[in-house]
A and B are shown apart, each in its own frame.
Chain A
Amino acid sequence: MGFFKSVIDVVALKSDRPIRRLVAYYALLALVFLALFSVFPQMSMVFSGERLDELSSAPQVLTDGLAPGATEDNAVTLPSQVQLGLSTLLTVLGTLVLMLPVSWVYMSSRKSRVHDQTIAQSLLIMPIVVAGIIIVVQNSLALAFSLAGVVAAVRFRTKLDETRDTVFIFLAIAVGFAAGVQELMVGAVISACFNFALLLIWHYDFGRNALEPTAAAQWKEPLKDLALKGAEGVPDRDLAMALTPDKAETLADRFTRIHELLGSEDRKPRYNAILHMSAKSSEEAQKRVEPVLEKVAKRWKLDEVVNNEGKPDQLYYLVRLKKTASSADLITAVRTRAGDRVSGVDVEVTDELAKAGTNGKNGKNGKHEKNGKKE
Chain B
Amino acid sequence: MRRVTACGILALAAAGTACRPRNGDDALLQQRAARLEQALADSSRTDSSGPLARWIMPASLAEISGLALDSSGRLFAHNDESGLVFEIDYRRGVLLKQWVVGERPLRDDFEAMAVADGRFFLLASTGKLYEFREGESGERVPYTVHDTRLGNQCEFESLAHERASNSLVLICKSMRDREIDGVVLFRWSLDSAQAERTPVRQIISLATINGANDWEEFQPSDLSIDPVSGNLVMVASLQQALAEVTRSGDLVASGPLPEPLEMAEGVAVTRDGLLIISTEATRTAASVSVYRR
Contact = CB atoms under 8 A, between A and B. Distances in A.
Contacts of A73: 285
A33 interface: no
Interface string B270-286: 00000000000101111
A61 B62 contact: no
Interface in A96-128: none
B214 interface: no
Contacts of A45: 59
Given A76-B286, A174-B13, A59 B55 contact: no
B93 A71 contact: no
Interface string B95-107: 1111010011100
B284 A74 contact: yes
Interface string A86-97: 000000000000
B95 A62 contact: yes
A156 B153 CA distance: 55
B95 A71 contact: no
B59 A48 contact: yes
B202 interface: no
B24 A59 contact: yes
Contacts of B58: 48, 50, 53, 60, 62
B2 A166 contact: yes
Interface in B1-46: 1-2, 5-6, 9-10, 13, 16-17, 20, 22-25, 28-29, 32
Interface in A194-209: none
Interface in B173-194: none
A140 B96 contact: no
A87 to B, nearest CB: 9
Nearest to B139: A57
Interface in B69-91: 81, 88-89
A75 interface: yes
B1 A65 contact: no
B94 A62 contact: yes
Nearest to A63: B56
A252 interface: no
Contact of B56 (A65, A141, A171, A174): A65
B55 A62 contact: yes
A41 to B, nearest CB: 12
Nearest to B25: A61
B60 interface: yes
B94 A60 contact: yes
Contact of A143 (B2, B10, B55, B104): B104
A70 interface: yes
Nearest to B22: A58
B57 A62 contact: yes
B284 A141 contact: no
Interface residues of B, number: 52
Contact of B59 (A50, A61, A174): A50
A292 to B, nearest CB: 66
A174 B5 CA distance: 14
A148 to B, nearest CB: 16
Contacts of A238: none
Contacts of B152: none
B63 interface: yes
A64 B51 CA distance: 12
Instruction: Name the interface size band of chain A.
Output: 35 or more
A34 B25 CA distance: 27
A211 B257 CA distance: 82
A167 interface: yes
B138 interface: yes
A141 B139 CA distance: 10
A75 B59 CA distance: 10
Contacts of A142: 103-104
Interface string B104-128: 1100000000000000000000000
A163 B7 CA distance: 13
A61 B93 contact: yes
Interface in A156-196: 163, 166-167, 170-171, 174, 177, 186
A140 B102 CA distance: 10
B65 interface: no
A55 interface: yes
A52 B58 CA distance: 13
A264 interface: no
Contact of B287 (A49, A71, A141, A171): A71
A140 B100 CA distance: 10
A52 B24 CA distance: 16
A139 interface: yes
A72 B9 CA distance: 40
A138 B82 CA distance: 13
The listed residue with most A CB atoms (<10 A of its CB), out of B57, B89, B105, B285, is B285
B198 to A, nearest CB: 38
A290 to B, nearest CB: 62
B136 interface: yes
A162 to B, nearest CB: 9
A185 to B, nearest CB: 10
A167 B54 contact: no
Given A66-B54, A76-B286, A141-B103, A50 B60 contact: yes
20 contacts: A50-B58, A57-B136, A59-B24, A59-B89, A59-B97, A61-B24, A61-B29, A61-B93, A61-B94, A62-B55, A62-B56, A65-B53, A65-B285, A66-B54, A71-B285, A76-B285, A138-B105, A142-B103, A166-B6, A170-B10
Given A52-B17, A64-B53, A171-B9, 11 more contacts: A49-B20, A54-B98, A57-B138, A59-B97, A60-B23, A61-B94, A142-B104, A163-B2, A166-B2, A167-B9, A174-B9
Interface of B: 1-2, 5-6, 9-10, 13, 16-17, 20, 22-25, 28-29, 32, 51, 53-60, 62-63, 81, 88-89, 93-98, 100, 103-105, 136-138, 140, 281, 283-287, 289
Please provide the 6 A-B residue pairs with the shortest distance between their CB atoms, ordered closest to farther: A65-B54, A74-B285, A57-B137, A63-B56, A61-B23, A62-B55
